Chains A and B, each alone.
Chain A
Amino acid sequence: MSLSDLVLSIADNKQMLGLRYAEWATRAPSLEADIAAAAMGLDDLGHSRVLYGCLEPLGEDPRGPGRESDAGSLRSLQYFDAPWTEWAQFVAANAILDSAFTVMIEACVSGSVEVLQHRLRKMLMEERYHFLHGRSWLKEMGDSPAVEQAWREALEWFGPDGGELGRRLAAKLERPEPKLKIDWSKWDPIRRRTLPGAIDLRTFDMLRGLEEQRYGITGAEAPARG
Chain B
Amino acid sequence: MTQYKRVSGDAVEYEVFARKTRGEPLHQVGSVVAPDDDLAVAYARATYDEERWVEMAIVRKEHVIELWRPGEP
Contact = CB atoms under 8 A, between A and B. Distances in A.
A197 to B, nearest CB: 27
Contacts of A133: 38-39, 42-43
Given A29-B4, A29-B7, A30-B7, A136 B46 contact: no
A137 interface: yes
Interface of B is mostly: helix
B33 to A, nearest CB: 7
Interface of A is mostly: helix
Contacts, number: 55
Nearest to A30: B7
Contacts of B36: 136, 139
B59 interface: no
Contacts of A33: 7, 43
Question: In the complex, which range does the number of interface residues on chain B fall in?
Answer: 20 to 34
Interface string A145-181: 0000000000000000000000000000000000000
B45 interface: yes
Interface of B: 1-2, 4-7, 32-36, 38-39, 41-43, 45-47, 49
